[in-house]
Structure 1
Amino acid sequence: MPLPVRGIALSVLAALCLCASPDAAAQYVPPSSASVRVPTFSTGIRPATVGDDALALGGPVDPAEYLVGPGDVFVVSVGGGSVSSPPRQTETTVTADGLLIVAEAGTFRAAGRTLAAVRAEARAALARRYTNLPTDVALAVPRRFSVYVSGAVPQPGRQVVTALGRVEDAIAETTDRGSPLDLADYATPARFEVERRVALRNVRVTDRDGSESRVDLLRYYATGDLAFNPLLTDGAAVFVPTFDPTREGVSVDGDVDRPGTYDWRPDDTAAALAAVAGGPGLDLSGATIRRTRTTAGRVESVEVSLSEASTLPLAPRDQLFLRAASPTAGQASVVGEVAYPGTYPIESGQTTLRQLVEAAGGLTTDALIRGAYLERTARSEPQAALDPLAYPSDQPITIATFDSTVTTLGRLSGLGLVGRRYYVQEYVSTPRLSADVPGALRGGADLVLQPGDRLVVPRDLGTVRVFGQVFEPGYVPFTAGLTAADYVERAGGLGPAGTTFFTVDARTGRFTAGPEVQVQAGDAVFVDRPPTSDSPQFESLALQQENIRLQEERSERDAERDRRQFLLQTITTTISTVGFLISTYFLIRDNAN
């Protein structure tokens, strides 16, 4: 083929190929002097990872909040819109000097600007470059950078965090990814004589431009508000201070979840500290907060409603006391044979037992009233809250004068080691209220409830449980007027090893020995056997117990024999002495005559 014809053919072929590819035809724009070399496009994006670990995100990145910096990886998408023509994507990384280079679109200043601003500028440039194709720019992988943590932390120094890392994350890196709440052991070095605590309400963050802020991490933990756990910037310095609770702390008590002493902040208010301590919400009508301050020997107190607490400033050594709208408000629960078992609101010292049952829909027809009882939870005084975020038990606190001296009374009682152990076990395991609960439910003297009370109403199965040394242990239908021996007979009779009959009261659990004890509804009958065992270990214990019993009996017999011998010797000695005195008397009288 002649050369001119060959050239024309190649030109026509190139034109046909260009027309056959709509993407290529559309993106053809005469190159300018500002254009850069177009890199090789790919149809996939590498997964978002940091090192060897997948980057865990808490949700979509907020473009208005996220600040772009060196190391951020962007993905650039051009074309697409159909199955036959997928988008072509490539990645570009913000350079060390803070520039974002987008092929065919230009170079943009990115460091320190929000993601929204950088994307808007890059998108506009791509739209001008590819006029007939859909284009987009998005953040693919957030960068990692260094921050510097110092103060009361176990491993101070440079820490690596992601661009989504917050103050809490940087501190956690110093504790092997634990929690900043684990820093209590680093608050008071050995060289300090005064107790100091970690001031997590005053974590200081200094950015590279010199601006400084104080972060209240405890308020973040209490409220979940991320405003109190802000994002970090490249190269920020984080300092975790300590404080002396006696000079730099503010104490909180009353109706709060976490009473204790907290570090004071320069902008502190009663409302802020109430939120940290887990007090009632500011919208709680009637709740009050009282600030007590001692200045130059004078004690001053100010009380405001909780809704006004944001205007009440605080100073070191202030004391706050929060009182809920209803100090007597509480809850009591009822389980068992009522229409609607559950927990119900009460007024301490006012709501009665029958009112609680009425609120629960009343007793069912199967309720065993004589077996009902009331539990009252009580415990000793709460310990000082060394950890402000140590949540107390969800059980109500009932403090009795006896509680604070329980251990001392045990030591001063003269009880032996075993006796004191039994004393403490029984003290903490007897929550039942010693009152006539069945009588109150039947219409007698009503009982006043306290927060945390729990009414238990068992079900009347119409049976008596008979077990132990009987031939047919199990449940026997209840018949009024029968004795323990009658129920044993109905359970197949006494077994060959049966010894003592016991009737167990359904409400009190009291054991009453004897076959002629009259059994009531819900009671149980147990027939004991001679000391024996079902296992070698327990057999050994039983033998030891039997040996101890025999030794005690032998000791008692020996002691009784010794007492008798002593008495006999005393009588003999007395008779001899009296005889000697009489003989001496007559001898003296005879000599006198």
Structure 2
Amino acid sequence: MKNIYKFILVLVVLLSSICLFAQEDISQQFSSEIMYNVSVVGAVKNPGVYMVLPTSRVSEAIKLANTLIDTINVPVHASNNASKRNISLKRNNEVVKLDLLRFLVLGEEKSNPYLEDGDIIVVPVVKEQVQIFGAIANKNDEELLNSIELKSGDRVSDIIELVMGILPSADNKNAEIVRFIGDSSDTESINLNLDIIMNNIESNENIILQNDDRIYIREIPEYHNKSFITLIGEIAYEGTYAIENNKTTLLQIITKAGGPTEDADLFNAYLKRISKEDLQEPEYQKLRKTRAEDMSILEYRYLRNRLTEGSGVFAKNFDTLWNNKELEYDIILKDGDVIYFPAKPVAIKISGEVANPGLINHDAELNYLEYIELAGGLTSKARKGKIKIIRSNTGEWLKPSKNTKLYPGDTIFIPRKERFSYYWPYIQETIAFVTGLATSIIVIKSLMAN
């Protein structure tokens, strides 16, 4: 019985060994049989012969040779002008032209066939191209960058297809091709109706393109203009609101948003505009680059005042507009406007030369001097005779007395004693005037003496 077990054990070991050797031999044979030798030459980093699987496509072989076909997974090593649309596949004494861009952009499989053993792939350089601009779907794709390699026989519809079509905003009836005339830099303009081309690619409108043609597909002006403004603060429904640019008014939007809340300070509500055409101030920009001593007195005063104003802030007449509905104070809104409704103030602001500038709760019993004392008193640099009260609702600057009533939101401003440089422009103009006057007197006396 033991002999039988031994025999069976030896038989199992022998059979296992035979199976392992057979499997290894089959694996080696199978591995050698499923790899293809494919040559990749031309505008690639490493031209040569590559071993690929039978399931490999042309693009994968080129990828192995480090071309720029796969810009996502493979670094760009090849020539910057390696072709994607005029690749040649040599197979069994036949040459097939391939347009890999149609595979990469449109998924057209016949443009990127499976490989066979012995295939030769030739990647040429780009020799001709066209450019396309405007309302196209794929204008920002890194594969395209507005320039498309030109293939013999390409028509307008072929290039539009490679940019994934045109946008709904395209003005189809007013497209244009700008074409060079011969070898010169002179150009001609060819008008296109894309509606005709898209409906019938065989139409005469769908012309064959030439090297360096530029296709312009312009957008319909003001197509679905998405203009909006923003309401912030003490308004019933704050947020972003769509408007018709240069048409919707401030009062319409405030009404649509439910109006200001009871806590809104309409005297200090304001509209902030960012559109550049309303903010252009050439004189202000010029003065900012001018030295103080080169300015006139009026220019110097204008610059000082302008620097303290908010840029793009519209006149504050919200209270009159909302409560009295006086339309002369209404404002036509523009895209990007921001409308702010602050809460009613409860404090007096102390600004300038005091020990502790800032806010102090409003007390109707206090005058401006008592507020200054609460702020720590005046500093040694304070110009006592020039203290002003700035009304929050009107912006008016007042010279205060002990009996001047203060309201929440008002500002008490204590200026600093001016340095000599402040008076220098005045002194300069005075000297110039006196000098001119003296010269005139001398000239007149000389003439009279003669």
The normalised TM-score by structure 2 is 0.59
Mapped pair 1:338 → 2:221: no
Contact 1:205/1:214 (CA < 8 Å) preserved in 2?
yes
| 2:387 maps to amino acid | F
From 264, 269, 289, the counterpart of 2:172: 289
Helix, strand or coil at the partner of 2:335:
coil
Deviations 1:474-517 (A, max 9, x none): 22234689986675455354334322435567699x79474469
From 91, 102, 110, the counterpart of 2:27: 102
Contact 2:171/2:217 (CA < 8 Å) preserved in 1?
no
1:85-484 correspondence runs (5 A): 102=27, 106=30, 109-111=33-35, 150=43, 157-158=45-46, 170-171=67-68, 204-207=86-89, 209=91, 210-216=95-101, 236=121, 238=123, 241=126, 248-252=130-134, 262-263=147-148, 266=154, 268-269=156-157, 272=161, 275=164, 279-280=167-168, 289-293=172-176, 300=191, 302=193, 304=195, 313=206, 315=209, 316-323=213-220, 326-360=223-257, 362-379=259-276, 400=277, 432=312, 434=314, 438=318, 439-442=320-323, 443-445=325-327, 446-478=330-362
Contact 1:289/1:306 (CA < 8 Å) preserved in 2?
no
346 and 558 in structure 1: CA distance in 2 versus 1, 3 angstrom threshold:
closer
Structure 2 Cα separation of the partners of residues 482 and 256 of structure 1 = 68
Contact 2:349/2:358 (CA < 8 Å) preserved in 1?
yes
Higher relative contact order (CA 8 A, sep 6+): 2
Contact 1:251/1:262 (CA < 8 Å) preserved in 2?
no
300 and 31 in structure 1: CA distance in 2 versus 1, 3 angstrom threshold:
same
486 and 146 in structure 1: CA distance in 2 versus 1, 3 angstrom threshold:
farther
Helix, strand or coil at the partner of 1:369:
coil
Structure 2 Cα separation of the partners of residues 489 and 12 of structure 1 = 114
Contact 2:388/2:412 (CA < 8 Å) preserved in 1?
yes
Helix, strand or coil at the partner of 1:102:
helix
Deviations 1:37-60 (A, max 9, x none): 47xxxxxxxxxxxxxxxxxxxxxx
1:11-30 correspondence runs (5 A): 12=5, 15=8
Structure 2 Cα separation of the partners of residues 318 and 339 of structure 1 = 50
Structure 1 Cα separation of the partners of residues 139 and 265 of structure 2 = 38
Helix, strand or coil at the partner of 2:217:
strand
Structure 2 Cα separation of the partners of residues 414 and 469 of structure 1 = 28
Structure 1 Cα separation of the partners of residues 138 and 398 of structure 2 = 51
Structure 2 Cα separation of the partners of residues 518 and 363 of structure 1 = 27
Mapped pair 1:569 → 2:448: no
Structure 2 Cα separation of the partners of residues 566 and 451 of structure 1 = 58
493 and 444 in structure 1: CA distance in 2 versus 1, 3 angstrom threshold:
farther
Contact 2:197/2:206 (CA < 8 Å) preserved in 1?
no
How much does 1:13 deviate?
5.0
Structure 2 Cα separation of the partners of residues 338 and 464 of structure 1 = 24
Structure 1 Cα separation of the partners of residues 258 and 345 of structure 2 = 21
Aligned residue pairs total: 392
Q: Which residue of 1 aligns with 2:22?
A: 35
Q: Which residue of 1 aligns with 2:184?
A: none
How much does 1:290 deviate?
3.1
How much does 1:528 deviate?
2.7
Q: Which residue of 1 aligns with 2:432?
A: 559
Structure 2 Cα separation of the partners of residues 335 and 562 of structure 1 = 57
552 and 293 in structure 1: CA distance in 2 versus 1, 3 angstrom threshold:
closer
Seq. identity, %: 17
Structure 1 Cα separation of the partners of residues 199 and 363 of structure 2 = 67
Structure 1 Cα separation of the partners of residues 447 and 436 of structure 2 = 16
Structure 2 Cα separation of the partners of residues 476 and 33 of structure 1 = 94
The normalised TM-score by structure 1 is 0.47
How much does 1:178 deviate?
6.8
How much does 1:376 deviate?
3.3
Deviations 1:225-261 (A, max 9, x none): 87799899897555563667xxx43332699987x96
- Structure 2, unaligned runs of 5 or more: 182-187
- Structure 1, unaligned runs of 5 or more: 1-7, 19-23, 39-100, 114-144, 151-155, 188-197, 281-285, 380-399, 532-545, 578-593
Structure 2 Cα separation of the partners of residues 550 and 37 of structure 1 = 101
How much does 1:345 deviate?
2.5
Contact 2:85/2:149 (CA < 8 Å) preserved in 1?
no
| 1:338 maps to amino acid | I
Deviations 1:388-423 (A, max 9, x none): xxxxxxxxxxxx5997xx98x999x89976699x99
How much does 1:35 deviate?
2.0
Contact 2:82/2:123 (CA < 8 Å) preserved in 1?
no
Contact 2:232/2:238 (CA < 8 Å) preserved in 1?
yes
How much does 1:469 deviate?
1.9
Deviations 1:169-193 (A, max 9, x none): 832999xx8779xx9xx98xxxxxx
- Say which one has the larger Rg: 1
